[in-house]
């Protein structure tokens, strides 16, 4: 077809034609600009040289007849066909969780987390795409994952689940050196009536962990639980923006509720962990609630495995933080004060000492990090060739809220350029490249055996839990009524003989 475009369209943004949502997700995480072509007529592709299309959805002959000779078409279905683990794009938007086991320091630790390692899939796909663009003479440019000049970020997340104020007080004293980069998710049933704890929490980043420490199967029950927590927090002069689900549990219904309540972000390792933030795919679209993943191995897993040596727990958390910061990744770890870190304050103190001298580390709350990441994902920009190895970075709307940096990636090397204006010239031949740090992966988890038996099946069927007081259990459906009846029988048995079969 005749060339109706400029001699050389912009190197970026990438143009997406019929591609799966998982691709959008990882490009947004990477900080590479892209635009979706909704009406694929020839003139619609003038905004970028590289067109990523899905051969399953768009026939090659249609691509050839639509694009000009100045374009480079890349079929992402090749990545799907060459993947050893099935469809990687489907895996990226998989919302299922599974029990997994890690072997750490000779101990087997088990937690329920995301079924697939989305971070590993993202890294592999991005590397393949970057190589494909480079082979065709393109440039891989991205916005840095952190404000300039930081190269990694640290946060300690504390989940406050149970009413043990003395444990909280001991934990809080050890936490003081990292108050500025701690985020607390508080169960208001546990501490809503504890003035001393609530007063201390007002000094630092505090968000919602729900009222009762449980995630329900039904949307209505989750809505009541979150609205109750929200009301208590606001009455105590908090303005909640984030939510962490008890036990890291994510469901589509829960996501609908927190989206409707206007929460900006959540942090649920059933959906993803040890990864960059992302918007989960739900109901045929991306949720408006940003997920900020954390490292899912906390002190509780060690204690459950019979490890009560705080030194061993601290060593794992510190090793995790150092490996991630060395690789330029976010080091977000978490724990629990009650009956755990409040009685092992050395773990928190050792962690605070370890991060004190890490170079160019952004000590940040999860709330501020979520604000940064949403702001970064909203930047629209182009990388336009100007001849003689020069490119101009062009932002549609300049916003100096955070100091930005551009990264040019070539193989194992990266060059970083601070961005100071909406238009900035970059000459590739003048850049100083440094070798990227080789990642040191921690222990890889394996699938743990699924619980079996009638009791496990019944627990799942009736959404069994013992956190919600009996008088607060709903009776909206038959399942609720069965659960409430069994809870009543359990309470009656406990009154009679001090115990019962249900725990």
pLDDT in tens, 78-94: 999 988 878 999 999 99
Q: Is the pLDDT of residue 420 over 60?
A: yes
pLDDT, tens only, 316-338:
999 999 999 999 999 999 999 99
Domain boundaries, the chain: 14-139, 152-371, 451-497
Q: Which residues of 55-94 are buried (b: 16+ CB within 10 A; e: fewer)?
A: beebeeeebeebbbeebbbbbbbebbeebeeebbbebbbb
Residue 361: partners with Cβ closer than 8 Å, 6 or more residues away: 150, 151, 152, 153, 154, 325, 355
CA distances (Å), 264 to each of 25, 202, 267, in order? 17, 19, 11
End-to-end CA distance of the chain: 71
Q: Cβ distance 269 to 297 under 8 Å? A: no
Q: Is the pLDDT of residue 149 over 70?
A: yes
Q: Is the pLDDT of residue 5 over 60?
A: no
Q: Is the pLDDT of residue 435 over 70?
A: yes
What percentage of residues in the chain have a pLDDT greater than 70?
A: 97
Confidence class for position 500, pLDDT limits 50, 70, 90: very low
- Out of 94-103, 153-162, 341-350, 480-489, which region has the weakest mean confidence (pLDDT)? 480-489
Whole-angstrom Cα distance, residue 447 to residue 182?
A: 31
Residues in the chain: 503
**CA 203 distance to own-chain centroid:** 25
Residue 280: partners with Cβ closer than 8 Å, 6 or more residues away: 93, 95, 250, 255, 271, 272, 286, 287, 289, 291
- pLDDT value at residue 497: 72
For the whole prediction, is pTM greater than 0.85? yes
pLDDT, tens only, 289-309:
999 999 999 999 999 999 999
The mean per-residue pLDDT over the stretch 235-252 comes to 97
- Out of 114-123, 127-136, 429-438, 480-489, which region has the weakest mean confidence (pLDDT)? 480-489
Q: Is the pLDDT of residue 453 over 90?
A: no
E strands of 107-241, at which residues? 107-114, 140-143, 152-160, 182-186, 205-208
- pLDDT value at residue 502: 39
Phi and psi angles of residue 72, each rounded to the nearest 5 degrees, phi first:
-120, 120
Overall CATH class of domain 152-371: alpha beta
The H-assigned helical ranges of 188-343 are 188-191, 195-201, 219-235, 252-260, 299-304, 310-326
Q: Which residues of 303-330 are buried (b: 16+ CB within 10 A; e: fewer)?
A: beeebeebebbbbbbbebbebbbbbbbb
The mean per-residue pLDDT over the stretch 110-131 comes to 96
Confidence class for position 12, pLDDT limits 50, 70, 90: very high
- What is the average pLDDT score of the chain? 93
The mean per-residue pLDDT over the stretch 39-48 comes to 91
Whole-angstrom Cα distance, residue 123 to residue 88?
A: 11
- pLDDT value at residue 7: 62
Residue 60: partners with Cβ closer than 8 Å, 6 or more residues away: 75
Walk across the sheet containing 446-447 and list its strands.
Answer: 107-114, 97-104, 446-447
pLDDT, greater one: 5 or 87? 87
């Amino acid at each position: 077809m005749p060339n109706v475009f400029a001699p050389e369209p912009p190197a970026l943004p990438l143009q997406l034609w019929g591609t799966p949502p998982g691709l959008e997700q990882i490009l947004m995480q990477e900080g590479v600009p892209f635009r979706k072509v909704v009406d694929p007529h020839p003139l619609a592709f003038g905004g970028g040289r590289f067109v990523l299309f899905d051969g399953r959805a768009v026939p090659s002959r249609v691509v050839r007849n639509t694009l000009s000779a100045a374009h480079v078409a890349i079929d992402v279905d090749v990545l799907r066909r060459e993947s050893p683990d099935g469809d990687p794009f489907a895996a990226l938007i998989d919302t299922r969780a599974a029990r997994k086991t890690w072997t750490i320091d000779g101990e087997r630790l088990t937690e329920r987390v995301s079924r697939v390692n989305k971070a590993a899939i993202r890294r592999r796909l991005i590397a393949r795409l970057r190589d494909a663009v480079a082979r065709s003479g393109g440039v891989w440019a991205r916005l840095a994952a952190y404000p300039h000049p930081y190269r990694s970020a640290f946060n300690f997340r504390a989940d406050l689940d149970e009413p043990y104020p003395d444990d909280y007080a001991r934990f809080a004293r050890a936490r003081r050196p990292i108050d500025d980069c701690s985020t607390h998710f508080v169960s208001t049933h546990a501490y809503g009536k504890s003035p001393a704890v609530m007063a201390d929490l007002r000094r630092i980043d505090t968000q919602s962990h729900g009222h009762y420490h449980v995630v329900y199967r039904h949307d209505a029950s989750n809505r009541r639980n979150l609205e109750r927590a929200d009301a208590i927090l606001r009455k105590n002069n908090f303005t909640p923006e984030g939510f962490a689900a008890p036990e890291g549990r994510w469901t589509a219904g829960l996501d609908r509720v927190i989206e409707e309540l206007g929460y900006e972000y959540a942090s649920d390792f059933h959906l993803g962990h040890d990864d960059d933030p992302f918007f989960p795919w739900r109901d045929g679209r991306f949720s408006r609630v940003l997920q900020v993943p954390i490292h899912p191995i906390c002190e509780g897993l060690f204690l459950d495995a019979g490890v009560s040596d705080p030194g061993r727990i601290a060593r794992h958390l510190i090793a995790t933080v150092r490996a991630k910061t060395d690789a330029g990744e976010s080091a977000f770890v978490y724990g629990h004060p009650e009956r755990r870190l409040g009685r092992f304050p050395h773990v928190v103190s050792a962690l605070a000492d370890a991060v004190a001298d890490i170079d160019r580390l952004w000590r940040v709350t999860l709330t501020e990090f979520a604000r940064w990441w949403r702001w970064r994902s909203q930047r629209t920009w182009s990388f336009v060739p100007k001849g003689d190895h020069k490119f101009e970075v062009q932002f549609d709307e300049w916003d100096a809220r955070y100091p930005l940096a551009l990264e040019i990636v070539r193989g194992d090397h990266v060059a970083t350029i601070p961005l100071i204006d909406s238009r900035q010239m970059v000459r590739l031949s003048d850049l100083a490249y440094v070798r990227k740090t080789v990642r040191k992966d921690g222990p890889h988890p394996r699938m743990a055996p699924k619980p079996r038996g009638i009791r496990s099946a019944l627990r799942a069927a009736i959404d069994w839990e013992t956190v919600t007081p009996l008088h607060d259990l709903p009776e909206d459906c038959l399942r609720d009524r069965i659960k409430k009846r069994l809870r009543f029988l359990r309470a009656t048995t406990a009154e009679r003989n001090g115990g019962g079969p249900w725990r």
